[in-house]
Amino acid sequence: MPPPPVTAAAAGTWTLAGRTIHRMGFGSMHITASPDRDLAITVLRRAVELGVNHIDTAAFYFSPGGPLDVGSGPTRYATELIREALSPYPNDLVIATKVGPGYDPVTGAFLQAKTPAALRAQVEENLRRLGRDHLDVVNLRILKRPGSDSVAERFGALAELRDAGLIRHLGLSNVRLDHVDEAAAIAPVACVQNSYALDNGRANDALLEACGERGIAFVPYFAIAGARREGGAGTDHDEAVREVARAHGVTPHQVRLAWTLHQGPHVLAIPGTGDPDHLVENIAAGALRLSPGEVARLDALVVEDA
């Protein structure tokens, strides 16, 4: 008989939103792309069966349909898939979502919520689609604009919604350390979610370290995709990644995830997939232990960020 699959517990734990979660989580962006709704539901349920108790999502994670793309079928929202798959939710499950980016429901135009009213509308949309009366974690995602991108007003608006009981914990996404400092003066910052991979996003090395010193979770997205970003996992891996993978009998994608987790006990992985087999592989990466020499070799694969 084959051995039982590795569970998310192999990655270790961290405290987020007042609960102990496994550091290997699940990102829900890709599940909306599956043409098979039942398969997306299966992947979500399988993730929880394998010990995942931290799911990342956003109301703007969807596959267009209806008014945004007439004739393509119904719009499929990640938040609604999560509700269908997992509600009533397990007591230990932490769902983290994001506000800031969004789309006009009529024109499909991309927009950024900048006012308290717009942010509240996005929070309420998350509540409605997830079927909850509160949100565990809400990350304010911004578009960085040097010199004119204060988060104080927007983060303050979310802090008011936290005080009103709609949100339990707050975080930030796509930010710099000065944004974290600014937000922390308003309300506690539970997590920071930025693009980060062994060969991309390494401008965030100092931010990752600062979060660890402050007890803030650092949650990398695109840890597998790297510079491909929304394009997803690719096959173009540096030879160092391939050699480490061969030495451990694993895939290069698993090495990338393992390296991510090796960056600190406060680092939480959220790989996403719509494939049940890839889900099992991703979670198994939490059990991969790299030697100090292997980590150092992979650390050296720094590329210049655009």
- Report, as residue numbers or ranges, the catalytic residues: 61
Pairing of strands 94-99, 54-56: parallel
What CA dihedral angle connects 33, 87, 133 and 12, to 10 degrees? -80
Pairing of strands 76-77, 62-63: antiparallel
Using left for φ > 0, alpha for ψ between -120 and 50, and beta otherwise, residue 79 falls in alpha
Q: Please compute, for residue 77, the number of CA atoms within 13 A of its CA located in the half-sphere on the CB side.
A: 20
CA-to-CA distance for 223 and 205, rounded, in angstroms?
A: 13
Q: What angle do CA 220, 223, 229 make, to 5 degrees?
A: 100
